[in-house]
Structure 1
Amino acid sequence: MSVKFLRNVTNVKEFMIIGFPGLPPEYYGIVSFVLLLVFISILFGNVFILAVIICERTLHKPTYIIFLNLAMTDLFFGIVTLPKIIARYWWNDMMCSFGVCFAQMYFVHSLGAIQSLILLMMALDRFVAVCFPFKYPVLFTNKNISICCGLCWFLTFIRMLGLVLHALTLPYCDLNTIMQCYCDHISITKLGCGDDVAFVKWVAFANAMVTLLVPLTFIIISYVSIFMAVVKMSASGRDYKFLSTCAPQLFITCLYYMPRCTVYLTDILGIKFSLDARIIITMLYSTHPLNPVTTRKFRDVTFTLEKPLLK
């Protein structure tokens, strides 16, 4: 499709962010205040984690490099998504330019995919530490983990650029209302017109399933292996602390994957459920400030377990 044709057909200059469609106006102030508190929690919580890990030399270890990258994805995701929806309810600022909306979509999906890979690395870190403790210092060095995390960011940003450019090949005729709290691929491509809309959606769905299910498969295998290894150990209190180490990681992994898979599968399979429920599910996995809790729990256990294991 030529650029000239796109310019002739694409009439949309701005998108309208609706947020929560069924929310009465009298609750706008309360919702904006709650979202502001969530944003502040994400901002200060993750900045605190980054500062502690960077400044505390004893935390310059592979495990905490992974947590540092996880905190960065949470921080950037909150910065990309929450200010606009807060402005929508605080100042009734509903309009978002065409280019800004696509830029938001790009960063939303890029950061989500990066977080999926970081969660995979977090699971592999515990898997090797528990099942192959003598190989852990060789495989999980600061340099190796830094390179892997860097590749997660770099390659994902390149891959998601193709997803956004593919969505840009669609003409956007007249519809510009996004029934969502921010611009994402599903909400934007629903507004496209032409014969290629279904194909663009299927390509995005295949990309999403690879992004979600491939890491999830390895994560499940890792935690099952950890559980089986711990069960085979002697029944000491120290052994079962590994399960408490993995518990918050499993919780954040479930909170990440289950709502995302639900949203993508229901959309592509045409399963109907409440629009407000879909938006709430999306906001649940988009704005959860869990890193401070997870990091504190992991830090408490790691200091007592890491050294005895790796002797």
Structure 2
Amino acid sequence: MSEGKMEYHFTLLGFPGLHPQYYGPVSAVMFFVYIAIGFGNIFILVFVMCEKKIQKPTYLIFCHIALSDLTFGTVTLPKIIAKYWFGNSLISFYGCFVQMFFVHYLGSVQSFNLMVMALDRFISICLPMRYPVLISNTVVSVLCGISWFIPLPIMITVVLQAVFLPFCKSNVIAHCYCDRLSIVSQACTENIVLLNTISLSFAMFCLLLPLSFILFSYTSVIVVILKMTNVKGRRKTFSTCTPQILITCLFYLPRCFLYLSNFTGFSFSLDFRILLIMLYSLLPAAVNPVIYCFKTQDIKKSLLMKLHRARINIEQKGIYNE
């Protein structure tokens, strides 16, 4: 790489229309979102690792999703918080590409992990007798490992395509973090259309392939549930896949809305577009641990049991001290 690129910096614009008087509140909101992402997902990881009773395939998938959410928040939020809190909006040339890699890589990993989660629910509800044979902790670990591996060569290719482009336009990134579209828009090359087509194909592979299976899986699950004659059994079965459906909807629905709006020619202001992207990128990472804890019976029961024991211990200590 040339020395010029080593010294080159990008400037993160954040929200272009945001008045300086709101920089403090916006950075504070982002900081609390980061704290929520960190605390919630670390809690899930530690809780599942320490609680042997819930070390089951479904919860191992939750751990992979939590790890992806935690990493995404750590890669994206500190820099934009620093911009609004300390006025530090510069990001190095290679730092920007590293951030770009993780942004797209982790999004793709999450998509494939959601597909593994849909497979888990599909076999559990549609093929319950085969579930213990087909799904185990080892099988889930292998499938989730594949989910982390598949996007790796794809995203390395996308980054390498972009990093060698000649940059001659503005160095301002109109976003809260470095993504491919924002970076490539600053390049000067005749092959930009071809590169965009290749990158779009990769993106559609990482999003639409898992989404197709996810739609098939949950449609099959819902059909099986509706065919159940036992109302109580139907309600209980549906509750077992409610967390997975909620997590999947949080990830895919805003993305599909944005892509469809672009396809139909419906345009947003730049600020609203950035806000929408930040919401669908970070809101699931902050909300998912809450869904795990309050919508998953095993985790909820384990938590309540631990809280109950802790309260008894405190009461016993109080009686002993008296």
TM-score when scaled to structure 2?
Answer: 0.87
In the alignment, structure 1 residue 299 sits paired with structure 2 residue 274: no
Q: Displacement, 1:169?
A: 3.0
Say whether the 8 Å CA contact 1:18–1:179 is kept in structure 2: yes
Query: 1:91 is aligned with what amino acid?
Result: F
* Distance of 1:249 and 1:134 partners within structure 2: 21
* Distance of 1:188 and 1:266 partners within structure 2: 22
Q: Displacement, 1:97?
A: 0.4
Q: Unaligned regions of 5+ residues in structure 2, if any?
A: 302-322
Match of 2:154 in 1: 159
Match of 1:38 in 2: 33
Q: Displacement, 1:303?
A: 8.9
Say whether the 8 Å CA contact 1:123–1:222 is kept in structure 2: yes
The aligned length equals 299
CA 1:264–1:204 in structure 2 vs 1: closer, same or farther (change >3 Å)? farther
Say whether the 8 Å CA contact 1:172–1:192 is kept in structure 2: yes
Say whether the 8 Å CA contact 2:41–2:66 is kept in structure 1: yes
* Distance of 1:298 and 1:66 partners within structure 2: 15
Q: Displacement, 1:131?
A: 0.6
Offset from partner CA, 1:117-154 (integer Å, 9 cap, x none): 11111111111100100111111111111111112112
Aligned residue runs from structure 1 range 1-311, under 5 A:
7=2, 13-264=8-259, 272-288=267-283, 289-300=286-297
Query: 2:288 is aligned with what amino acid?
Result: N
Say whether the 8 Å CA contact 1:241–1:301 is kept in structure 2: no
Query: 2:84 is aligned with what amino acid?
Result: Y
Say whether the 8 Å CA contact 1:12–1:175 is kept in structure 2: no
* Distance of 2:144 and 2:112 partners within structure 1: 8
Q: Displacement, 1:14?
A: 0.6
CA 1:98–1:262 in structure 2 vs 1: closer, same or farther (change >3 Å)? farther
CA 1:45–1:181 in structure 2 vs 1: closer, same or farther (change >3 Å)? same
* Distance of 1:195 and 1:9 partners within structure 2: 22
Q: Displacement, 1:105?
A: 0.3
Query: 1:217 is aligned with what amino acid?
Result: S
| SS of equivalent to 1:19 | coil
Root-mean-square deviation (CA, aligned residues, Å) is 2.2
| SS of equivalent to 2:246 | helix
Q: Displacement, 1:249?
A: 2.4
CA 1:37–1:11 in structure 2 vs 1: closer, same or farther (change >3 Å)? closer
Q: Which runs of 4+ in 1 moved over 3 A?
A: 7-12, 261-272, 301-304
Query: Which structure has the larger Rg?
Result: 2
Identity, % of aligned positions: 45
CA 1:234–1:268 in structure 2 vs 1: closer, same or farther (change >3 Å)? closer
| SS of equivalent to 1:283 | helix
Query: 1:213 is aligned with what amino acid?
Result: L
* Distance of 2:206 and 2:51 partners within structure 1: 33
| SS of equivalent to 1:223 | helix
| SS of equivalent to 1:287 | helix
| SS of equivalent to 1:15 | strand
TM-score when scaled to structure 1?
Answer: 0.90
Q: Displacement, 1:191?
A: 0.9
| SS of equivalent to 1:38 | helix
Query: 1:20 is aligned with what amino acid?
Result: F
